[in-house]
């Protein structure tokens, strides 16, 4: 929540915020925040702390492609007992953040010796807030898990409690365009992060030859056209705050609209499954990108891209959520298809099977550690340059992938 209007401009420009991020994308998120004007940026584990004003809070929610949610810290304290925790929560001036007739929800994560269950923590915090309002007004606010007016986030590590207010609401990976899933879909945030890790910004062709429900294609088109991550999303938690400024929000959206650009490269997706292509087509249409993204049913072995330069980014099966008859043979065939059809391109593949990805048979130019849900993955890049292929191949036990 933001300072009162009579506070100084210097103070309003230094409101502390915390952006949550998937592991491996913290530096990308920090870069996004810096471009938006954030100051005092610090990279943490699965998060980035920063400072700014109310305008930056709105922009971070609207523009950041690799943020999961934006939190506003309001209090930090240490405690020793359950009663101590209750009293600290009760002392926070919650009436500054909500009215008694508004609803609240509390999300808790714990790593504490005092508490062992997050639901109990949320319940005790709710009791403390409700008791504070009851003592002041005679009325207790209600809880609404689905659509509250105020979302409170508690993070407890040992004896330290961080209390924050969630400005995003639903996770920011929920862009608003994704209504139909194929098998094992990528998170929108992970897909955008993968693209941004490669350094691609829309300057060359983009291919996904196993496109599933089309997430990588849509995120690529949004990056290339400079569409905000929240272009198709209608609600954020900050819209229910007492200090919400509709005028400022409309100004931010107008500025983003003025900054959009036309797509000048080919974005093409394919999949061997007609069902997957139908899912991709539906999501792409929801994002109003059906005139910008090309789709076709095809086996990856038969995909012939436009002449390079270009990039292929794809999320092939790992043998975890999607079973294949011979995973190792699949990865060997992917390598053969890249060598045969994608000269002049760069190719990036993500996989949790470290041995299988070695069998692509290409020397990696780069590799990143990422998490797809609970699966630890390597995101590996290959340069399929023009000219001699003498140094393009490696043996199957490429040691550079072991790190």
pLDDT interval class at 313 (50, 70, 90): very high
Please check whether residue 200 is in contact with residue 311, taking contact to mean a CB–CB distance below 8 angstroms: yes
Instruction: Specify whether 203 is located in the same domain as 345.
Output: yes
Please name every residue paired with 297 in a beta bridge, in sequence order, or none if there are none.
Answer: 271
pLDDT of residue 14: 86
Instruction: Specify whether 135 is located in the same domain as 63.
Output: yes
pLDDT interval class at 385 (50, 70, 90): confident
What phi and psi values does residue 276 have, to the nearest 5 degrees?
Answer: -60, -40
Instruction: Specify whether 215 is located in the same domain as 138.
Output: no
Please check whether residue 156 is in contact with residue 115, taking contact to mean a CB–CB distance below 8 angstroms: yes
pLDDT interval class at 396 (50, 70, 90): very low
| Residue 165 DSSP SS3 | strand
**How many residues in total does the chain contain?**
403
Instruction: Specify whether 210 is located in the same domain as 80.
Output: no
DSSP of 337-368, one letter per residue?
A: HHHHH-TTEEEEEEES-HHHHHTT-B-EEEEE
Instruction: Specify whether 198 is located in the same domain as 150.
Output: no
Q: What is the pLDDT of residues 210-248, one digit of tens each?
A: 999 999 999 999 999 999 999 999 999 999 999 999 999
Strand order through the sheet with 103-111: 39-44, 47-52, 15-20, 69-78, 160-166, 150-157, 103-111, 142-143
Instruction: Specify whether 298 is located in the same domain as 389.
Output: yes
How far apart (Å, rounded) are the C-alpha atoms in residues 94 and 354?
Answer: 49
Q: What is the pLDDT of residues 101-122, one digit of tens each?
A: 999 999 999 987 788 889 999 9
What is the percentage of the chain residues whose pLDDT exceeds 70? 90
Element (H, E) at 9: helix 9-12
pLDDT interval class at 399 (50, 70, 90): very low
Q: What is the pLDDT of residues 122-180, one digit of tens each?
A: 999 999 999 999 999 999 999 998 889 999 999 999 999 999 999 999 999 999 998 87
Whether residue 395 is predicted with pLDDT greater than 50 in this model: the reply is no
* Number of alpha helices (DSSP H) and beta strands (DSSP E) in the chain: 11, 15
Please check whether residue 161 is in contact with residue 151, taking contact to mean a CB–CB distance below 8 angstroms: no
Indicate whether 251 belongs to any domain: no
Indicate whether 232 belongs to any domain: no
Indicate whether 134 belongs to any domain: yes
DSSP 65: S
Give the closest residue to 269 by CA, choosing from 281, 259, 260.
281
Instruction: Give the CA distances from residue 340 to residues 215, 257, 344, in Å, rounded to whole numbers and listed in that order.
Output: 26, 41, 11
Residues whose CB is less than 8 angstroms from the CB of residue 267 and which lie 6 or more positions away in sequence, other chains included: 205, 206, 207, 217, 220, 221, 224, 292, 293, 294
Indicate whether 171 belongs to any domain: no
pLDDT of residue 59: 98
Instruction: Give the CA distances from residue 202 to residues 196, 199, 225, in Å, rounded to whole numbers and listed in that order.
Output: 10, 9, 8
pLDDT of residue 386: 62
Indicate whether 2 belongs to any domain: no
Indicate whether 108 belongs to any domain: yes
pLDDT of residue 326: 83
Instruction: Specify whether 199 is located in the same domain as 73.
Output: no
Instruction: Specify whether 115 is located in the same domain as 208.
Output: no
Instruction: Specify whether 221 is located in the same domain as 335.
Output: yes
Instruction: Specify whether 121 is located in the same domain as 202.
Output: no
Structural domain that includes position 395: 188-226+261-401
Instruction: Specify whether 134 is located in the same domain as 205.
Output: no
What is the percentage of the chain residues whose pLDDT exceeds 90? 82
Residues whose CB is less than 8 angstroms from the CB of residue 8 and which lie 6 or more positions away in sequence, other chains included: none
Please check whether residue 392 is in contact with residue 363, taking contact to mean a CB–CB distance below 8 angstroms: yes
Averaged pLDDT of the chain: 90
Instruction: Specify whether 50 is located in the same domain as 94.
Output: yes
Indicate whether 61 belongs to any domain: yes
pLDDT of residue 402: 52
- Say how many domains are in the chain: 2
CATH of the domain at 296: 3.40.50.150
How far apart (Å, rounded) are the C-alpha atoms in residues 184 and 78?
Answer: 41
Residues whose CB is less than 8 angstroms from the CB of residue 98 and which lie 6 or more positions away in sequence, other chains included: 104, 141, 149, 150, 242
Indicate whether 386 belongs to any domain: yes
Q: What is the token pair recorded at 287?
A: 């994002």
How far apart (Å, rounded) are the C-alpha atoms in residues 346 and 206?
Answer: 10
How far apart (Å, rounded) are the C-alpha atoms in residues 298 and 303?
Answer: 7
Please check whether residue 228 is in contact with residue 259, taking contact to mean a CB–CB distance below 8 angstroms: no
- The model scores a pTM over 0.85: yes
Residues whose CB is less than 8 angstroms from the CB of residue 372 and which lie 6 or more positions away in sequence, other chains included: 186, 187, 190, 315, 350, 352
CATH of the domain at 146: 3.30.2130.30
């Amino acid at each position: 929540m933001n300072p009162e209007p009579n506070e100084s401009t210097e103070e309003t420009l230094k409101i502390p915020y915390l952006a949550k991020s998937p592991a491996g994308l913290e530096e990308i998120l920090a870069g996004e925040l810096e471009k938006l004007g954030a100051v005092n940026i610090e990279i943490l584990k699965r998060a980035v702390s920063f400072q700014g004003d109310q305008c930056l809070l709105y922009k971070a929610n609207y523009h950041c492609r690799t943020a999961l949610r934006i939190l506003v810290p309001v209090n930090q304290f240490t405690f020793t007992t359950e009663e101590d925790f209750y009293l600290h929560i009760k002392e926070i001036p919650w009436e500054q953040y909500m009215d008694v007739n508004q609803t609240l929800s509390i999300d808790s994560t714990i790593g504490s010796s005092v508490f062992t269950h997050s639901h109990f923590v949320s319940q005790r915090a709710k009791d403390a807030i409700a008791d504070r309002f009851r003592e002041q007004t005679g009325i207790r606010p209600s809880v609404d898990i689905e659509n509250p007016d105020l979302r409170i986030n508690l993070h407890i590590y040992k004896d330290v409690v961080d209390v924050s207010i969630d400005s995003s609401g639903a996770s920011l990976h929920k862009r608003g365009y994704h209504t139909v899933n194929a098998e094992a879909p990528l998170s929108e945030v992970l897909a955008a992060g993968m693209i941004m890790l490669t350094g691609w910004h829309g300057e060359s062709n983009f291919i996904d030859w196993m496109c599933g429900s089309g997430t990588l294609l849509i995120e690529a088109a949004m990056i290339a056209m400079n569409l905000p991550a929240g272009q198709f999303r209608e609600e954020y938690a900050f819209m229910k705050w007492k200090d919400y400024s509709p005028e400022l929000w409309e100004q931010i959206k107008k500025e983003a609209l003025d900054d959009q650009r036309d797509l000048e490269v080919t974005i093409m997706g394919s999949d061997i499954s007609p069902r997957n292509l139908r899912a991709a087509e539906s999501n792409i249409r929801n994002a109003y990108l059906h005139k910008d993204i090309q789709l076709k049913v095809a086996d990856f072995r038969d995909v012939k891209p436009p002449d390079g330069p270009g990039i292929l980014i794809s999320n092939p099966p790992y043998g975890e959520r999607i079973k294949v008859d011979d995973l190792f043979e699949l990865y060997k065939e992917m390598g053969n298809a890249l060598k045969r059809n994608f000269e002049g391109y760069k190719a990036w593949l993500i996989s949790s099977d470290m041995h299988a990805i070695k069998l692509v048979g290409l020397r990696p130019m780069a590799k990143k550690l990422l998490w797809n849900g609970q699966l630890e993955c390597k995101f590996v890049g290959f340069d399929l340059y023009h000219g001699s292929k003498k140094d393009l191949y490696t043996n199957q036990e490429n040691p550079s992938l072991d790190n």
